[in-house]
Amino acid sequence: MTKLAVSSGDPAGIGPDICIKAFGTKTKLKYSPVIFGDPILFKERAKILGQKIDLQIYNGENEKHLSNDCLWIKPHNLKQPIKPGEPNSAYAGYLMDLFEDAIERTISKEFDGLVTGPINKELMNKGGVSFQGHTEVLARVSKTQKVLMMLASKDLRVALATTHISIAEVPKMITRENLLNCLTVLRDDLRTKWSIKNPCIKILGLNPHAGDGGFIGKEDQEIIAPLVYDLNQQDFNIIGPVSADTAFIKKYDNQKVDAILAMFHDQGLPVIKTLGFGKLVNITLGLPFIRTSVDHGTAYNMAGNDQVDESSMLEAANLAALITSYQ
């Protein structure tokens, strides 16, 4: 059975809550999730949520006997008590330790895939841990030169040419080399992880109206369009550059689009999150293993509330397990 490492996320947020609700209630799953986190935290949070869980310690030696009628946890111990909704930068090191442990065990193939809960970037950095985002840590630990962030729903996939940088830095990253790497990773992963033989990728323009022929910025005509032309003479199927304000309107598509490549974080993600929030999965492309994540943040104000929705965690784990079956 497929075995997934699950990084439980910020202990003061809803990460533990959604792990408990998704995996700790004897749900019939076709895979075995193992939570990386503090056992005491999980016992206390389950009690607050009114959830009865059978918590079992995972030590690697019992990996062939992971039944789905309990909640398996790989222990990482917190040094301070946690109250739901009260974040503390003192546990930043705990978060990085469990995340890196989950990555390394997945790289070593102890686990078939990795699912991550939400982490607060500001808290991590205030706690003395340099943290630009999950994507960047995954690239560093796995020694992967080019990774790509993508959000996916049932009907739409949006990847990002740039991720967690300021908007002022984005134009500097819109280079032929960077876009070629992004498009190659996106095409190759759509082929190997989604089994799409000839994926169609729509690339957005950087500027309004995709530059309006060069009257609103030069990047679209001088960088993006020539690259698209050259790649379409090779083994690519790319549409664009397309104006972002109409790119998501399906009635104007003459062919099925398998993924959209946006130029920056808030160009593509507001649209897909509006259309599918709660049913989206965050995926890191280009890695030598499968990594998926929830589509939301830490939501401190909802931690410890039994009304917390675990559907995105389940979607992320289900997709990770599904993709591993294609490998």
47-61, 158-172, 208-222, 245-259: range with highest mean pLDDT: 158-172
Check which CATH number belongs to the domain holding 246 and give it.
Answer: 3.40.718.10
Measured distance CA(72)–CA(109) in Å, rounded: 18
pLDDT one-digit tens code per residue, 29-65: 889 999 999 999 999 999 999 998 889 999 876 666 6
Q: If pLDDT is split at 50, 70 and 90, which confidence band does 250 have?
A: confident
- Residue 1: predicted pLDDT: 82
> Burial level of 109, CB count in 10 A (0-12/13-18/19+)?
exposed
Phi then psi for residue 194, to 5 deg, are -115, 0
Kindly state whether residues 191 and 260 are assigned to the same domain.
yes
pLDDT one-digit tens code per residue, 96-117: 999 999 999 999 999 999 999 9
Measured distance CA(203)–CA(217) in Å, rounded: 16
Kindly state whether residues 31 and 71 are assigned to the same domain.
yes
Kindly state whether residues 301 and 251 are assigned to the same domain.
no
Kindly state whether residues 138 and 2 are assigned to the same domain.
yes
Measured distance CA(210)–CA(219) in Å, rounded: 9
Measured distance CA(117)–CA(36) in Å, rounded: 10
Kindly state whether residues 168 and 256 are assigned to the same domain.
yes
pLDDT one-digit tens code per residue, 120-155: 999 999 999 988 888 889 999 999 989 999 999 888
Kindly state whether residues 125 and 188 are assigned to the same domain.
no
Structural domain of residue 308, as residue ranges? Answer: 1-144+287-327
Which residue would you say has higher pLDDT here, 197 or 26? 197
Look at residue 26 and tell me whether its pLDDT is greater than 70: no
Look at residue 327 and tell me whether its pLDDT is greater than 70: no
- Enter the pTM of the model: 0.88
Other Cβ atoms closer than 10 A to 140: 13
Q: If pLDDT is split at 50, 70 and 90, which confidence band does 325 have?
A: confident
Percentage of the chain beyond pLDDT 70 is: 95
pLDDT one-digit tens code per residue, 280-290: 899 999 999 99
Segment 1-9 shows an average pLDDT of: 93
Kindly state whether residues 271 and 250 are assigned to the same domain.
yes
Residue 156 token pair: 């739409």
Measured distance CA(26)–CA(45) in Å, rounded: 17
Kindly state whether residues 222 and 299 are assigned to the same domain.
no
Look at residue 211 and tell me whether its pLDDT is greater than 90: no
Q: If pLDDT is split at 50, 70 and 90, which confidence band does 295 have?
A: confident
Kindly state whether residues 5 and 131 are assigned to the same domain.
yes
DSSP string, 195-262: --SS--EEEE-SSGGGGGGGTS-SHIIIIIHHHHHHHHTTT--EEEEE-TTTTT-GGG-SS---EEEE
Kindly state whether residues 258 and 322 are assigned to the same domain.
no
Kindly state whether residues 110 and 194 are assigned to the same domain.
no
pLDDT one-digit tens code per residue, 67-100: 777 899 999 999 989 999 999 999 999 999 999 9
- How many distinct structural domains can be found in the chain? 2
C-alpha separations of 327 from 21, 62, 66, 112, 293 in Å:
29, 25, 22, 10, 19
Kindly state whether residues 127 and 2 are assigned to the same domain.
yes
Measured distance CA(285)–CA(185) in Å, rounded: 7
C-alpha separations of 97 from 5, 44, 60, 127, 144 in Å:
14, 21, 17, 13, 19
- Residue 62: predicted pLDDT: 60
